[in-house]
Amino acid sequence: MNGIPNTPLHPYYPLGVAIPGYVAKTLTTQEILAIFTATCLGILIPTWLYIRHIRRDLPSSEVLTALWFVLCGFIHLGLEGYFAFNAHDIASHSTILGELWKEYSFSDSRYLTADSFVVCMETITAVFWGPLSFLCASCIVADHPLRHPLQSIISLGQLYGDVLYYATCAFDAAHLGIEYSRPEPAYFWGYYIFLNAFWIVIPLCLITRSTRETGRAFTALKELSPSKIAK
């Protein structure tokens, strides 16, 4: 369909793809990005102050990891949860979150066409990785023994979902010639590649760290034979 000089009723790709109930967004790109950035900062700054207040001794890398999971919790539950709950008619929504998804969909129209993989992956992300992200953040702050198993599970879930997200899109482009992104580089490279890359790079680092820490814990336990432990 891509490239056919017809006149679509919406600005999304592939040109002419059916988006039932579509209502054009009214907020500008700048307004949407400003709202998104302000919300992220409005979550991160008070959380950072709170963590610093209750755990002054927590290393900066741990604080950053806890902040990452808090932000993930809000994005998974709030943003992706909204999508998952309204996937069937989100193109008709003029709420702030509806506008935000219509802005993002310039880079991937599958969010407006209720693509089965995208809806299922986002639902799992919202239902499981959302609440678990908050739990993991609190485990980090509390230095809880389940922190690394949790961190590993959530991060692998995010990583796998994101790899499949990229892969299915690339497969459709290579196999069927379908492009879901508008051709402007800002949408493809800025929204689709850059924004999602966070959930490739950071989970990979966190899985590696948790695997290493867990390996160390089991090694240390093994080395501490009963004879070395004072009765």
Q: Which residues contact a copy of itself by CB under 8 A?
A: 88, 114, 116-117, 119-121, 123-124, 145-150, 152-153, 156-157, 160-161, 163-164, 167-168, 171-172, 175-176, 207, 210-211, 214-222, 224, 227-230
In the complex, what is the shortest distance from the CB of residue 10 to a copy of itself, in angstroms, rounded to a whole number?
A: 20
In the complex, what is the shortest distance from the CB of residue 6 to a copy of itself, in angstroms, rounded to a whole number?
A: 24
The amino acid sitting at 103 is E
Query: Do 80 and 125 meet the contact criterion of CB atoms below 8 Å apart?
Result: yes
In the complex, what is the shortest distance from the CB of residue 38 to a copy of itself, in angstroms, rounded to a whole number?
A: 33
Q: How far is CA 103 from CA 36, 54, 76, in A?
A: 11, 38, 18
Nearer to a copy of itself, 40 or 167 (CB): 167
In the complex, what is the shortest distance from the CB of residue 18 to a copy of itself, in angstroms, rounded to a whole number?
A: 12
Nearer to a copy of itself, 81 or 161 (CB): 161
Encoded tokens for 181 = 């992104």
Nearer to a copy of itself, 43 or 55 (CB): 55
> What are the contacts of 18-26 at 24+ separation with CB within 8 A?
18/113, 19/91, 19/109, 19/112, 19/113, 20/89, 20/91, 21/89, 21/91, 21/92, 22/91, 22/92, 22/112, 23/91, 23/92, 23/93, 23/94, 25/94, 25/98, 25/99, 25/102, 25/103, 26/94, 26/99
In the complex, what is the shortest distance from the CB of residue 54 to a copy of itself, in angstroms, rounded to a whole number?
A: 19
Q: How far apart are CA 158 and CA 124, in angstroms?
A: 10
Nearer to a copy of itself, 146 or 205 (CB): 146
In the complex, what is the shortest distance from the CB of residue 218 to a copy of itself, in angstroms, rounded to a whole number?
A: 4
Nearer to a copy of itself, 62 or 172 (CB): 172
Nearer to a copy of itself, 4 or 174 (CB): 174
